Structure 1
Amino acid sequence: LPKLAQCADKYAVLRGVSHTLAAHNLGKMYMNTGSRPLPSLVYPGYSAVVSQEMTAPADMPKTVAVPKPTHPSGFLGVAHSPLSTGATPRKGAAFTVRGMSLRGGTTTVDVERRHNLLADVDAKFRGFESDLETVGGLDRFSQQAYDIISSKRAREAFDVSRESAAVQDAFGEDTFGQSCLLAVRLIEAGVKFVTVEIGGWDTHQDNFNRLKDVNLPKLDTGVSALFNELHARGLLDSTSVMMTGEFGRTPKINARTGRDHWPRAMFVLLGGGGMRGGQAIGASDDKGQGPAAEAITPDNVAASFYRSLGIDHTKEYHSNTGRPITIVRNGQPIQQLF
């Protein structure tokens, strides 16, 4: 990872991160929430909590997932689900998100006319609703959709082809790198949380060739460019970045030259948002089987990430049944980061 090495002052590597959930879905739940999964409750992921706690410009979505969410909004409800792009941008090509671009000759004037007509109809029938809470929710969704669809700024923020050739080149030729560029543009435009997904890490066979030839070059280019561009635009100090998977891989190589699931030892990268870069915190043992000393838990990672976002991880929400739920119950921020 030579490009990431060159900007290592901008992030910290947490080594010796450890848990015990070796199934993909359970590991994702834990790493995306900081709360160990329960069969009776779906905790909200980072994106949903940010949506609950932060405000964004009216004409921009609060949270965006490229191309799809990594975790549901849990008991906070679908109102806090991210806008999913459903696709990834390609270098040099105009990028639009389905539902945000006007089609079939429809103009912003047409949209405004229809919006005003809906408002007139709503006004005439106000007071006849049987479920005021549901109707109020639909009204809020309708207004948000109108604000975004009618916003030139929102449409332009998603179009990575508006960047200079030099900036696009820095993020590489593949869709992951261009998705990282999209994340920069969205944060700059006022979106509060963006997730970018890169798959292909379940290397049960041919681990070393897949990493060397495909996965690591993409990751190296995209994530390093993300840090460098956020820094160049003056956004890194106010933008928290996390890079994580659901678990690590076995120290032992299997018969197919692959590595299997291993949650006992993994790493997480954290940077920006006032966190101190240029350091490695914690360590795995000499065989990569587990932490060399005290483990860093997903709970501690989450508490640290929320602190960098200015969100109190001890804050309580209430589930649909009224049960009090702490955002991160068992974790504490890692002091070396701050």
Structure 2
Amino acid sequence: TGTNVPGIQVCELLPQLARMADRYALVRSLHHETNDHGIAGTVGLTGRAAVAGRVMPSMGAVAARMLGRPTALGAFCAVGRPLHQGHRPIQGEGGGILGGPYDPFRIEYDPVTGVQIHDLKPPEEITSSRLDRRRLFLQTVEKAREHLSQLREIQAHQATYDHAFSLVTSGAAKAVFELEREPDALRDRYGRHRFGQSCLLARRLVEGGVPFVQVNWSSHVESEEDYGDGGWDMHYRNFEVLQDRHLWMLDQSLSALLEDLAQRGMLNDTLVVAMGEFGRSPKINDKWGRDHWNQCYSALLAGGGIRGGQAVGSSDSRGELPAARPVTPADICATVFHTLGIERTSLLELEIAPDGHLIEDLV
């Protein structure tokens, strides 16, 4: 269907996004070398595949390392369960070679039980003064083990403890997770499903000072999973799932996020990226589904200095291969870092710079 930008079309099942195409840019020529969910997921999250067990840090971890932790909420939060392919975690969501201190602080939203943060609230019998004494005792114990402080495991443990302590004791931090503070009409606008409320929570986290928030659509690639809203791996029932569930939910929640950020004056300073590990095959298989397709797929970027109302790159007439301006996930990473004000030279010094380059058409 047509959009409010002449020459740009999107699926007819995305009517709300179609009406605000001037606010985002589409990259239509993304590609990389693998069609395996796990490897492709790592490439999408970090800009490159793991080599000999060496996993690069995710974009969020890089932001946490370079931008620091400005609030009790930390510098990198992930909303949703860790990504999996089958029973295997997909590498690349955390600190990688930077270590555990740069893993995301994970939050989950459940439509029945609400926001879930494990061990955030201390037992009622633990007063703030008693909590302070416990922390002082732990600090004393840690000082006796300073010779171990260089061990990555110890550092990760200490960083996690410090972060949890700040959350337990900061009323302002805990308030960010209270979605019931939002008007019912706004919560309805985002959608009362997992992805919708996760996007609303992401906005509250950014508003609370978190520099980087990652929202996972689901914890698993499969479209028929029991937990979450189901993944996008639709080798069968593709059209049924997209029409009945995925696309209207994506349209509702992503458009609500962009609209909400714009109305609050936050969109110009907040980069929004919507992308997956690869696309789906142009050819329909014998199960009325679409298979993995890493040769050419799309991503959406909005806000944060991105010039909206344009499509960067294009595919050939069959949608199989890039026809103009090929873009890689590493290029997306480089562009994200640029919008965050992270200099490539500083990433090179840490040996974590992606191989890609800034997509100049976007900025």
Correspondent of 2:120 among 96, 100, 108: 100
Match of 1:28 in 2: 41
Shift, 1:139, TM fit:
4.7
Amino acid at match of 1:10: R
Contact 1:314 1:328 in 2 (8 A): no
Match of 1:321 in 2: none
Match of 1:59 in 2: 72
Shift, 1:270, TM fit:
0.9
Residue 230 of structure 2 is aligned to residue 211 of structure 1: no
Match of 1:173 in 2: 192
Match of 1:310 in 2: 341
Contact 1:58 1:148 in 2 (8 A): no
Task: Point out where structure 2 has 5 or more consecutive residues left out of the alignment.
Answer: 1-13, 84-92, 219-230
Cα pair distance change 1:171/1:72, threshold 3 Å: same
Residue 356 of structure 2 is aligned to residue 325 of structure 1: no
Residue 27 of structure 2 is aligned to residue 14 of structure 1: yes
1:149-198 alpha-carbon deviations (Å, 9 max, x no partner): 10111111012111111211110121110000000000000111111111
Contact 1:281 1:336 in 2 (8 A): yes
Shift, 1:21, TM fit:
0.6
- RMSD between aligned residues: 2.2
Query: How many angstroms apart in 2 are the aligned matches of 1:129 and 1:19?
Result: 44
Match of 2:285 in 1: 254
Correspondent of 1:72 among 94, 107, 121: 94
Task: Point out where structure 1 has 5 or more consecutive residues left out of the alignment.
Answer: 319-323
Query: How many angstroms apart in 2 are the aligned matches of 1:203 and 1:51?
Result: 34
Contact 2:71 2:210 in 1 (8 A): no
Structure 2 counterpart SS, 1:214:
helix
Amino acid at match of 2:33: T
Match of 1:187 in 2: 206
Match of 2:59 in 1: 46
Structure 1 counterpart SS, 2:97:
helix
Structure 2 counterpart SS, 1:102:
coil
Shift, 1:202, TM fit:
0.3
Q: How does 1:75-224 map to 2 (within 5 A)?
A: 75-85=97-107, 87-90=108-111, 95-119=115-139, 121-122=140-141, 126=143, 129-134=146-151, 138-199=157-218, 200-224=231-255
Shift, 1:140, TM fit:
4.6
Q: TM-score, normalised by structure 2?
A: 0.83
Shift, 1:9, TM fit:
2.0
Shift, 1:301, TM fit:
1.5
Structure 1 counterpart SS, 2:173:
helix
Cα pair distance change 1:102/1:300, threshold 3 Å: same
Structure 2 counterpart SS, 1:325:
coil
Amino acid at match of 1:160: L
Query: How many angstroms apart in 2 are the aligned matches of 1:65 and 1:137?
Result: 17
Shift, 1:222, TM fit:
0.9
Shift, 1:104, TM fit:
4.7
**Paired residues, what number?**
327
Contact 1:64 1:191 in 2 (8 A): yes
